[in-house]
Structure 1
């Protein structure tokens, strides 16, 4: 039986030092109380912390009442040079390096991925101390189906890239999650609502903060919702595509027939197309021309 007490939670003891060459630490996205016990303890104990912006990190540590005067704090960001990467690798091999994002998960909106890849390529152990992040918080609040979902980060700024993004979403069944800046939120939604009037949308603003807001609407109702959207803070847009593409028509069907003509097994092909389109594999199998 699982118990919950000062030393046990969900059957696992709290604490217990987990040693890794690289530890990814997720921090709050707006509410300091969202810091996890594990994350706070590790930030207190560790000697080396890497961050995209050291000023943001020091402010966080100060608010958490963690003394950083004896800690090594390094900056690592998108423009870090190869020499910086090699320096990080040396540090990871010699001891523990802890990467902290400005907010949320290190690999979702901050440039931790190069460090993760570097660690994997050099057989350095990696650990994660998970916590709150904007895409999952938005998905929970949206009321939109959670399976499947697709996270896209920030989308293209110009109309051409936005049109390409809409085409991509139209082909992928499920809920799409992406970030947008305050200066573009309404312009982007104007375009999305025109192209996707029957889709269900949610806009989440200032997640976990005092003035958190969630707007839920159908694309065709955007103009009515638009007047209520406050253009301040950080935004996450969610768009749900409820339509599964028909594999019996269009380019997918043409490609399927070409693959069949080269000797592919229909059953295997139908399973592959089901993974891509979200349609039932048996329905796809029945539509394929197997002559």
Structure 2
């Protein structure tokens, strides 16, 4: 079968017992960087010497079929340099093809930079979207951020240290400098740091230079303040559907935080205005015939 194994994102102590056993027993290990994986085996004290096959962005399409064929009869372990394979790392095409061919796929869960950064960011974790790496070119990056400006979920990005200052500045322009964010650097490592603040403040901090592997977490767009006009329209729709005016205004006021009394008065005024307009539009009656 095909196994997806999460590897430590920094601290070797996070290597699970299942990961160690899988590394020691696998027939084949498909690795993002075979040199990195060979070093991981040495550091974990694993004496087994499985066949190491390089699997990265440039050759995954060509090697996916052969790996899936081998996974049908052998234990094939797929790892990236850090974290869970397929998550902004190689492996998706292999898993997709294995699923299509009916080859069993399972995972050995473990460290994840995305989840770790989200957890320590101090930002809402109930709903989030992982966006991976933003485009390198400034124009493409700005357009990608503008497309996310109204996204209500917390956003998680990967970014290179050489580009984090530019990305924070672009995010401050697209989302506003006060939008809360957290730059999570070197997670689980000796010099781990989580820097929190508004995007503008963080952009200024990063302009002096930032080192290490970085995950950027940005708060979702704030909920727009309820519009009295939209609330009144909602009341009118409910009344037209058969609700009592008093009930409709109370329920809409509770949902929006607006004053029920003011909303009720506005609804009455709108009803009165509509009645006057309708009355003026009626044709004048003809005089009686003699």
Give the distance between the partners of 1:220 and 1:103, measured in 2 at CA.
30
> Shift of residue 81 of structure 1?
6.3
Match of residue 199, structure 1, among 179, 186, 198: 179
SS at match of 2:212: coil
Unaligned segments of structure 2, at least 5 residues: 231-254, 257-290
Give the distance between the partners of 1:109 and 1:81, measured in 2 at CA.
13
Give the distance between the partners of 2:59 and 2:201, measured in 1 at CA.
44
Q: Equivalences for 1:98-109 in 2 at 5 Å?
A: 98-109=77-88
1:182-239 per-position Cα deviation (integer Å, ceiling 9, x unaligned): 1111121122223322310100111110000110001343366446x75211111111
Q: Equivalences for 1:100-179 in 2 at 5 Å?
A: 100-179=79-158
Could you state the TM-score of these two structures normalised by the residue count of structure 1?
0.73
Aligned residue-pair number:
230
Give the distance between the partners of 1:82 and 1:147, measured in 2 at CA.
35
1:46 aligns with 2:26: yes
Counterpart for residue 3 of structure 2 = 23
The alignment's C-alpha RMSD in Å is 2.3
Counterpart for residue 217 of structure 1 = 197
Moved more, 194-203 or 73-82: 73-82
Give the distance between the partners of 1:171 and 1:223, measured in 2 at CA.
20
Could you state the TM-score of these two structures normalised by the residue count of structure 2?
0.73
Give the distance between the partners of 2:201 and 2:61, measured in 1 at CA.
49
SS at match of 1:124: coil
| Residues 166 and 203 in structure 2, CA contact (< 8 A), matched pair in contact too | no
Give the distance between the partners of 1:188 and 1:223, measured in 2 at CA.
8
Unaligned segments of structure 1, at least 5 residues: 1-20, 254-281, 284-291
Bigger-Rg structure (1/2):
2
Moved more, 188-197 or 205-214: 188-197
Give the distance between the partners of 2:72 and 2:225, measured in 1 at CA.
51
Give the distance between the partners of 2:62 and 2:222, measured in 1 at CA.
48
> Shift of residue 169 of structure 1?
1.8
